[in-house]
Amino acid sequence: MFILTVKPGERQAAAPPGAPAEMEGAMARIRVGILGATGTVGQRFLALLANHPHFVVTAVAASDRSQGKPYGEACAWRLPGDMPPGVAALVVRAPEPPLECDVVFSSLPADVAGEVEAGFARAGYAVISNSSSHRMDDAVPLLIPEVNPDHLALLDACPGAGRGFIVTNPNCSTVMIALALAPLAARFGIEAVAVTTLQAISGAGYPGVASLDITDNVVPFIANEEEKIERETRKILGRLDGGRVEPAPFVVSAQCHRVNVVDGHMAAVRVRLQRDADVPELREAFAAFTALPQQLRLPTAPARPVVVRDEPDRPQPRLDRDAGRGMSVTVGRIARDAVLGHRFVVLSHNTIRGAAGAAILNAELLVARGYIPLRG
């Protein structure tokens, strides 16, 4: 198997390809940099990476006025609790190579991410991006480790010493939709999908949604969101063919709404399957679903990617968003549908499974598959 070596000279030696799991403890952790570190998702990256077994944050960068200040000063921490202790002293850098790290996680705004991430990849970094800029690029995997780990082969197309790469995770709504559809696609085949989302305010970052727009209100519009869901879902569930991804052949329709919830995106999903199935079969397909990250016991992988709840009024954002430490999606209300055949409701934590956690799980798979070498 091909192993992409980001800076192969030193690393290859340092991280012997066949190193058994027991050796991990002896190895230094992989140094990571966070691009967009002061934002909502950037803060989630830092919180989730505190005490990570493989990664240690050694650099933070941001495109804003905070450059040059210690992170502890530059950043108004908006997650519950305090920022992880090691991070406060890191000086915020400009988001451009070189950075004091081997891998970068990016949650830069879409308007700057495109060029910046490409620059880091050209400079030899593994770029694990939560931004939308490169998701639809032909050579970039749009990855959910439980769904399309084979898409990583896109990276093998341009091998070479010192070549960096970009791997992206989906839009915060798409990830839960695609993850819930994956077991249905595998067992029954899919012909059409109509999703209607109810999305949390944290999905818009900070300051993001004005309180006057969402208190006692719903906003039936999120810029570009419907297009992203319709497009990304088909790429993720598409088939790798001749070095490129053929989008899945079904149609997707999305109607998106912002609702007054802090964290936790919900989607009401209707689906037309290729072969008929009864409701218990669908339930079983969801509940039994496990995949590569569970087999590999990746640190951030939840025991159950899809949790099924049978109560008639679940899932609910406040009660279910933290399932599997925010990495499980929760499915409920599985039923027959008069128009498309079947329907259900799916929910996940939009800044964990929908953003920072998704990227970290991607990075863990890249380590496990050798695309990111461990350091000796």
Binds a second copy by CB under 8 A, chosen from 172, 345, 365, 372: 345
- Of the candidates 276, 281, 274, 275, the residue with the CA atom closest to the CA atom of residue 190: 274
274 contacts a second copy (rule: CB under 8 A)? no
172 classed as catalytic: yes
323 contacts a second copy (rule: CB under 8 A)? yes
283 contacts a second copy (rule: CB under 8 A)? no
- Of the candidates 362, 364, 287, the residue with the CA atom closest to the CA atom of residue 328: 287
Question: What CA–CA distance (Å, rounded) separates 22 from 53?
Answer: 12
265 classed as catalytic: yes
360 contacts a second copy (rule: CB under 8 A)? no
81 contacts a second copy (rule: CB under 8 A)? yes
318 contacts a second copy (rule: CB under 8 A)? yes
Return the exposure string of 126-135: e unless at least 16 CB atoms fall within 10 Å of the residue's CB, then b.
bbbbbbbbbb
Q: Which of 172, 256, 342, 349 is catalytic?
A: 172
Whether 136 and 227 have beta carbons less than 8 Å apart is answered as no
User: Which one of the spans 86-94, 126-134, 180-188, 251-259 is the region binding a second copy (CB under 8 A)?
Assistant: 251-259
What DSSP string runs through 299-312?
Answer: TT--S-SEEE--ST
Question: What CA–CA distance (Å, rounded) separates 157 from 25?
Answer: 32
Question: What CA–CA distance (Å, rounded) separates 90 from 73?
Answer: 10
209 contacts a second copy (rule: CB under 8 A)? yes
What DSSP string runs through 91-106?
Answer: BEEPSSS--SSSEEEE
By C-beta, is 86 or 208 nearer to a second copy?
A: 208
Binds a second copy by CB under 8 A, chosen from 7, 29, 283, 314: 314
173 contacts a second copy (rule: CB under 8 A)? no
**Interface with a second copy (CB under 8 A):** 40, 78-81, 192-194, 196, 198, 201-202, 206-221, 230, 251-253, 255, 257, 259-262, 266, 268, 270, 312-323, 332-333, 337-340, 343, 345
Active site residues: 172, 265
